[in-house]
A and B are shown apart, each in its own frame.
Chain A
Amino acid sequence: MRNAFAAAITEVAALDKRVVLLSGDIGNRLFDAFKDKSPNRFFNCGVAEANMTSMAAGLAMCGLRPFTYTIAPFGTTRVMEQIRVDLCYQNVPVTIVGAGAGLSYASLGPTHHSCEDVAFLRSLPNMTVICPGDAMEVRLAVAAVMHLEGPAYIRLGKKGELAVHKEPPQFTIGKGITVRDGKDVCLLGMGNMLSVANDAAGLLESAGVSAKLVSMHTVKPLDEVLVSDVLQRFHIVAVVEEHSRIGGLGSAIAEWLVSKRIPTDRLLVFATPDEFFCQAGSQKYARRLFGLTADAIARRVQDAYSTRRRP
């Protein structure tokens, strides 16, 4: 996803002279093509994310379209104050791009994990929160935020995520994308968990449970029409996200259900627990520990489905 972002922002900046890229001393060589094509619109802002974020607001207030880029927790939770006041309160079109969603950088330790970013940013008025599911969605998300009039957050994984889409899908902010159709259960894959959810859907099919898969690339604004529809039509709706169960996509849906006073026993949430992952270990290991593998997800969805079907 990182490389897809670099390619996308390079392309968009070449076409639109308002695009400015601010980097927090990260992405060595990643933006060489950008610097080559748009040399006066790239700034390495150093290890100083507060200044970077406020400067982005200043650029936007003068008619430009700045993007900030760094590792997700440093561009989000570290500078919540700047995001809240300078970007959201002033409602200016700055896009924060964070690499390392969830446990992407598991081995670097909890300082580099980002399992709370969506919760923080989703709580801010005017903010749009986008978690692209694969490289193609990253490109489409970068193009889409150019039409927003306020701030946005694009939450990237790292590199080498499996492509889920074979053809470019119709990408609209706030509208989930159906990746595969099914009739028994529905998986809502968020961000870098989309390919895991896709694998889980495949396993369910093999086990005789027909699974629909939706890419819920936008967490805010929530696609309420889609959520309402799948909760009526499917026995089980399972959210799959690499984010804390507090404040992520599962939370957003639960909040919406309460606001509409809709009772349900159909919703399952696969998310990270309310604890830090403090061991050494890879993303693969951490996901296994937290039940965020295709196997574990498919098994629990199948169990829940069977229970509901039992007379």
Chain B
Amino acid sequence: MEFPQFADLERLRAIARKIRGQLVEMSHRGNAPHLGSALSCVDILVAAYWGVLRINPKSALDPDRDRFILSKGHAATALYATLASRGFIDESVLATFNNDGGVLPEHPGLQCVPGVEAATGSLGHGLSLALGMALAQRIQGKTYRCFALMSDGECEEGAVWEAALFAPAQRIDNVMAIVDYNKWQATGRSNEVMSLNPLADKWRAFGWTVHEVDGHDLATLLGVMRNLPDGCGNPVAMIAHTVKGKGVSFMEDDNNWHYRIPTADEVKAAHEELGLT
């Protein structure tokens, strides 16, 4: 499979803005929480799906495709909207998010729509799933890569560190653990609830190659993710420093938006800010 050829940064920024507008709308219409968490990882998803992953919406189950697992399943709207932007699903389906009997629940199910690689929502599973897929790739003699996007709060799950111990021991080099490090979890500052810092040092100490990046800088995200595997033989962790609620000024770094649902007026204000009206 070919690398995608959509690295025009201006275009990607416009796509990210449009997706952010869709997330605000989906949260409002679907009466669904986790908007701040979804907004914080939009740029990571856009970079991955538009400039890194070797995937094809016309053959969503191609055995040679790269795998991207949204381990922080509560950001499902961001995944759905990104998949829609790449043509895996029709954009009209987004309007059915969280509807009774619909195909888009608040946490994604395995292949609930084409392009969703795993059922997530319970934190701390995605990295291990990715490692299993990476072992499969090795056994089958394939060359695909596996990405798992986690939240910082998710790194409090013990299973994450079981996976962190396993991957370097097996010299798994085609896996990237991405941490959407927005410094918040459901009810508090992630570094006050648990002792996450120094997070990059922790991954390094476990034997991972670590990149600390601005999680909203598309050029940097593309550069780091495209470079997997990097030839060193280690698994790679990308600690992406992000802002929860990114893109909508009155949501940024305000943890009320972990649960709050925007009103119609707030949707309008957000869309104006994003230049979508």
B122 to chain A: closest residue by CB = A85
Whether A58 and B119, one on each chain, are in contact in the complex, defined by CB atoms closer than 8 angstroms, is no
**B101 contacts the other chain (Cβ, under 8 Å)?**
no
Interface SS of B by simple majority: helix
In the bound complex, what is the Cα–Cα distance between A60 and B124 (angstroms)?
A: 18
Evaluate contact between A48 and B135: CB separation under 8 angstroms.
no
Q: Is B12 an interface residue (CB 8 A)?
A: no
B170 partner, pick from A43, A56, A91, beta carbons under 8 A: A43
Determine if A12 is an interface residue (Cβ-Cβ < 8 Å).
no
Contact B131 A58 (CB under 8 A): yes
**Would A45 and B119 count as touching, CB distance under 8 A?**
no
Interface size class of B (residues with CB under 8 A): 20 to 34
The answer, among A45, A54, A62, A66, for a CB contact under 8 Å with B63, is A62
Contacts of A57 in B (CB 8 A): 128-129, 132
Hey, what's the 0/1 contact readout for A192-204 against B, CB within 8 Å counting as 1?
0000000000000
Cα(A51)–Cα(B124), bound, Å: 9
A20 to chain B, nearest CB (A): 7
Chain B: minimal CB distance from A59 (Å):
4
Q: Does B166 contact A (CB under 8 A)?
A: yes
Cβ–Cβ < 8 Å partners of B158 in chain A: 50
B contact residues around A60 at 8 Å (CB):
132
Query: Which chain B residue lies CB-closest to A81?
Result: B122
If A51-B162, A51-B163, A86-B125 touch, whether A59 touches B132 (CB-CB below 8 Å) is yes
A56 to B136 CA separation, bound complex (whole angstroms): 10
Question: Does B133 contact A59, Cβ atoms closer than 8 Å?
Answer: yes
Chain A residue nearest in CB terms to B133? A58
Instruction: Say yes or no: is B159 at the interface (Cβ < 8 Å to chain A).
Output: yes
User: How far does the alpha carbon of A54 sit from the alpha carbon of B123 in the complex, in Å?
Assistant: 12
A277 within 8 A of B: no
Most-contacted residue by chain B among A59, A82, A90 (CB, 10 A): A59
**Contact: B118 with A41, CB < 8 Å?**
no
Contact status A58-B139, CB under 8 Å: no
In whole angstroms, how far apart are the Cα atoms of A56 and B128 in the complex?
9
Of the residues B110, B121, B129, B169, contact of A54 by C-beta under 8 Å = B129
Contact status A58-B136, CB under 8 Å? yes
Return chain B residues, CB-CB under 8 Å to A46. Answer: 162, 165-166, 169
Chain A 177-204 per-residue mask, 1 if CB under 8 angstroms from chain B, else 0 = 0000000000000000000000000000
Does A61 contact B118, Cβ atoms closer than 8 Å?
A: yes
Q: What residues of chain B lie closer than 8 Å to A63, measured between beta carbons?
A: 63, 136, 140
6 example contacts (A-B, Cβ-Cβ < 8 A) are as follows A51-B163, A55-B129, A58-B129, A59-B139, A60-B132, A89-B110
Chain B positions within 8 Å of A, measured between CB atoms, are 63, 109-110, 117-119, 121-122, 124-125, 128-140, 158-159, 162-163, 165-166, 169-170
8 shortest A-B CB distances, which residue pairs?
Answer: A58-B132, A54-B128, A62-B136, A55-B132, A51-B162, A48-B162, A50-B159, A58-B129
